Amino acid sequence: MSGLRSVAWYRPGHRAGGLPVSGPDEDAFTLAAEAIERSAEQARAPDGVARLVLFGAVPSELDWAFPVLLGYPVEIRHERANPRTLLEAIDRENDDGAPASLVVAVEYSPDSATSEVGSITGTSGEGAVAFRLGPGGSPIEGSVRDRAASSGSVLDAAFALWPPLAETAPVDRSTGDGPVARGPAEPPRAPELGAGTGPVLSAVSEGAYVPRPRYLENLPSRWRLRAERCDACGSLTFPARGRCRSCQRSDRLRFEELPRRGARVIASTVIGPGGQPTEFDFQVARSGAYQVVLAELSPEARITLPVTDGTPGGVRIGDRVDTSIRRLFPMEGEWRYGRKAVPLRTHDPTSF
């Protein structure tokens, strides 16, 4: 018997009109990515899925990015986002014999300025829910199904499908993922790129210009924090570079993924306007100064991360941070994505 095996969700920390809305460095892809990563953390064994079904405004131009995020090949389907199609997809993915799959519902509205949330169709605001389906899962009861079918948005329907969430609705549902981010309560929304007045996506940065092939090549290290353990001398090399940093051997390396949560901050700096590399001009023009931290992923591996969802300087040395895939900067006609440090929130334990 197939059914729902687990549900993971993510709602952004910013608020507008009381509803969770995405921050300036979030979009449909990053919302989906966060829910998918949480779903993977939740799975006790590293059991991959064969198919990813996406509901919401995730552009198909980013289909290449999901196998990179997951670390293995996956078949991707995009579906029209409404409660009925979500239920149909879950039924279809639940058919006996269907391979394990992830159904991800995303609510993201590029048009919604924080001062106006009219374009968000449901009552749950923005966010993403990832359903893991496969053998041994729980079937969905008829009453739950009916409630989901009559929901106002695909995200509302997704929340209605998971009774532990529905029980806490509506009071906790908008904040169930932890307190509001420590940043400005209602930050200005980023204009969408390509909307005419936004930044020029084709702008060539004078700063740390990274050609697209190198960006893609480095993503396993940047997104999945992939390091190499040397079985000859025991050293860890991060980011992975195909050669041990201690003994220089390349024949005894195996991949090791470093933890994405709980990194300890060991150094911090705030970049004021004018001090940024040019690829961050757009971000600084919109959000002002930003913080960068050096954090320990493990005793042997450090990483430099921009901080998001917080006041510049709000993360202190010794603090723990989570990491999350966010928009970094526009380059060569597209957004580049990478990990940023997120100040630890008190997570609802049922969300992982």
Chain contacts with Zn ion (rule: CB under 5 A): 230, 232-233, 235, 244, 246-247
Q: Provide, rounded to whole angstroms, the least separation between the CB of residue 244 and Zn ion.
A: 3
β-pairing verdict for 127-135 and 236-237: unpaired
Residues 351/38, Cβ–Cβ less than 8 Å: yes
CA-CA distance, 241 to 145, in Å (whole number)?
49
Smallest gap from Cβ 242 to Zn ion, in A, equals 12
Q: Which is nearer to Zn ion, 235 or 298 (CB)?
A: 235
Minimum distance, C-beta of residue 71 to Zn ion, in the bound complex (Å): 23
Nearer to Zn ion by Cβ, of 237 and 308: the residue is 237
Instruction: Report yes or no: 124 and 153 within 8 Å, Cβ to Cβ.
Output: yes
Of 216 and 247, which CB lies nearer to Zn ion in the complex structure? Answer: 247
Please state the closest distance from residue 245 (CB atom) to Zn ion, in A.
8
Q: Are 267 and 293 in contact (CB under 8 A)?
A: yes
* Residue 241: CB minimum distance to Zn ion, A: 12
Q: Give which of 343, 313, 322, 222 is closest to 263, Cα–Cα.
A: 322
Identity of the residue, 144 or 232, whose beta carbon is nearer to Zn ion in the bound complex: 232
- Nearer Cβ to Zn ion (57/232): 232
Neighbouring-strand partners of residue 326: 338
DSSP-derived secondary structure for 160-204: HTSHHHHHHTTTTTTTTT-SPPSS-SSPPPPPPTTSSSS--TTPP
Q: What minimum distance in Å lies between the beta carbon of 248 and Zn ion?
A: 7
Edge-to-edge strand ranges of the sheet holding 236-237: 236-237, 226-230, 253-257
Nearer to Zn ion, 188 or 234 (CB): 234
CB 269 within 8 A of CB 186: no
